């Protein structure tokens, strides 16, 4: 069974591009168009990893990240923030909110796939300890 990833971005083009990229890497991808929808989908789908944009309606990606980290049911899910906010303070805020990794837009599909694979491998190693 392939690993499941939730991708949340309010830009449909970016969301489809990320979903297409991750599908090419062999992952099952579920999509959400805003932060609240993402949080609901994550809680019901129990994905192996989450990719979040920061600037989204309803709830931003940092709010979703904090909600996931503080929920015992979702706290072990790795979160990769994928954002155009590329200043050091943005990246630090993302990581401080509980994200496992931060990738800036525009992104290289190969780099995104590699980061996702690293995060999933790390989660598996931790789960086996």
Helix ranges (H only) for 10-54 are 12-24, 35-45
| pTM listed for this prediction | 0.94
- Mean predicted confidence (pLDDT) in 8-34: 97
User: Does pLDDT of 8 surpass 90?
Assistant: yes
Tell me how many helices (H) and strands (E) the chain has: 5, 5
53 three-state secondary structure:
coil
Helix ranges (H only) for 1-108 are 12-24, 35-45, 61-69, 88-96
Contact (Cβ atoms closer than 8 angstroms) between residue 5 and residue 49: yes
User: Does pLDDT of 126 surpass 80?
Assistant: no
Structural domains of the chain, ranges and CATH numbers in brackets: 4-128 (3.40.50.2300)
């Amino acid at each position: 069974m392939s690993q499941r990833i939730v991708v949340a971005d309010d830009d449909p083009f970016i969301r489809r591009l990320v979903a297409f990229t991750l599908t090419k890497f062999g992952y099952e991808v579920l999509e959400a168009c805003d932060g609240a929808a993402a949080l609901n989908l994550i809680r019901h789908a129990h994905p192996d990893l989450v990719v979040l944009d920061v600037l989204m309606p309803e709830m931003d990606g940092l709010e979703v990240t904090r909600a996931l980290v503080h929920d015992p049911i979702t706290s072990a899910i790795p979160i990769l923030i994928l954002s155009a906010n590329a200043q050091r303070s943005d990246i630090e805020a993302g990581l401080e909110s509980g994200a496992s990794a931060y990738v800036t837009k525009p992104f290289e599909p190969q780099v995104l796939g590699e980061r996702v694979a690293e995060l999933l491998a790390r989660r598996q190693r931790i789960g086996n300890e």
